[in-house]
Amino acid sequence: MQVKREYHGTPLRVISDYLLELGGTIIGEDLVNSEGWSATLCRGEPFRLGALRFDTVHVHFEGDPPVLNRLIASLYLWMIRAGG
């Protein structure tokens, strides 16, 4: 299964660290790998809102459907919590 997500306002390195906390191993700057899933991260064009500028990160997930669904749900919880 492949899933693509786009995240705004959180730097690539922070998303990488979240995936590390969720059981991944960081391989270079743009790949996080674990048993049953992998995630490729890519910086996108910044999202602008008036004078504000927010990081954009594209994440391409691949893996076994049940494992990937749990991973994405867990990452979502990390992404919405206050303070990162």
Summarised one tens digit per residue, pLDDT across range 1-53 is 999 999 999 999 999 999 999 999 999 879 999 999 999 999 999 989 999 99
Give residue 36's pLDDT: 95
Q: Spell out the domain ranges in the chain.
A: 2-80
Give residue 79's pLDDT: 87
What are φ and ψ of residue 32, in 5° steps?
-125, 130
Locate 32 and state its tokens.
């996080």
Give residue 30's pLDDT: 92
Q: Is the pLDDT of residue 84 over 90?
A: no
Q: Does domain 2-80 have CATH number 3.40.50.10260?
A: no
Give residue 26's pLDDT: 93
Q: Is the pLDDT of residue 81 over 80?
A: no
